[in-house]
Amino acid sequence: MPKINSDTLWDVAAAEVHCRENRIDEEDAEEDAHFLTQRTVFFMGSKAGGKTTILLRFLDRDEAAKPTLALEYTFGRRARGHNTPKDIAHLWELGGGISLSDLVQIPITADNVSSLSVVLALDLSKPNALWETMERLLGSARSQVEKACAVLQKTGESRSGKQRVPRILHKDYPDRELISPFPVPLLIIGSKFDIFQDFDSEKRKVICKTLRFLAHFYGASLIFTSSKSEATMSKSRSFVNQLAFGTERPKSISTDPSKPLAVPAGSDSLSQIGPPVSSEVDIGSLHAKNPLDLWKKVFEKVFPPENTKERKELKDPAKDPQYSETLIDSIRAQKDQELEQYKREQAKSWKSLALDP
């Protein structure tokens, strides 16, 4: 009987382990090919700013956009290959602009924050409301994302296979140490470019440079769109596709203020954007705490924010004129009158009660 030395035994053991590992890797690859991916994309932005139109175009639905009532949900599906389950994109849309920002707690949760992306649509035709809309909505979303992350850390749930939250930019990202990236992937869309392109050239430059700075500061992609331009709507669909299904992100870049901007995240820099220069503002006279504050002060000098005291924010969508329904509103008014009458009668009955001493 041939003698088996220890080296031979080790060789046999190593070969067996290698064989098992290969078999496991093949099984894992087959399992991954049939694994269902689910992502969440949260749309928010200016009131009547074109969010629904962008969403419908992404879903390839040929239907007229209707005003979003508070918060709406839909979904999209996409097959990665033949005989494979379709990936699912959960799509949330917040209506009402900044007035309903408290509702961000519904679509942003600890369950989905690791696969969440945000789309911020800003109405280019209303620049006086642009900065406040951006600031309020991104602030609310960031706060809710941080709360969801805190829950994940407490429960110690594994995030294997999902994106890191808050996300960390790679070491070669331009101006990495000078910016404050949004904690989840962010896409900023400037809508109604068809109206914006008729603005004075100096004002267009201020808006373009400011939005480029904001997108770079938050580590976001930036694109301009118009519902009247198939080319820009197609590009917006490609960017949303990347967030919803992980497809390849468009790489083309456009920074010309006279054309629709297209700036993928990581392709811009502070040196390329330049300082917040405006012929209407003396930057030396401004007192800013940081670069973001400086850009805000310059922008609001050119486009003074709307008077927040005069603007009425409707917390109850039922009182918003854009959601009016003649028949329903008349019935509601009648019921309100009946309720007031009932309350008056009850008040009288209580006053007429003779209480025993």
Strands (E), the chain: 38-45, 71-79, 86-94, 116-123, 186-191, 221-224, 262-263
**Which residue carries 């917390």 as its tokens?**
315
Residue type, 121: A
Opening angle at CA 217, ends 211 and 222, nearest 5: 40
Q: Closest Cα to residue 137, out of 116, 117, 151, 121?
A: 121
Q: What is the pLDDT along the chain (357 residues), one digit of tens a residue?
A: 444 444 566 666 666 656 655 554 444 444 444 455 899 999 999 999 999 999 999 998 888 888 888 899 999 998 877 777 889 999 999 998 999 999 999 999 999 999 999 999 999 999 999 999 999 999 999 999 999 999 988 876 544 445 666 777 888 899 999 999 999 999 999 999 999 999 999 999 999 999 999 999 999 999 999 999 999 999 999 999 999 999 998 889 999 999 999 999 999 999 999 998 766 666 767 777 888 999 999 999 999 997 654 445 455 556 666 566 778 878 888 888 878 887 777 777 666 655 545
d(C-alpha 104, C-alpha 145), whole Å: 9
Nearest to 221 by CA among 253, 177, 246: 253
Which residues, 6+ apart, have CB-to-CB distance to 330 below 8 Å? none
The pTM for the full model equals 0.77
Residue 172 has a pLDDT of 87
Q: What is the pLDDT of residue 11?
A: 64
CB atoms under 10 Å from CB of 294, counted, come to 17
The alpha helices in 34-113, defined as continuous H runs, are 51-58
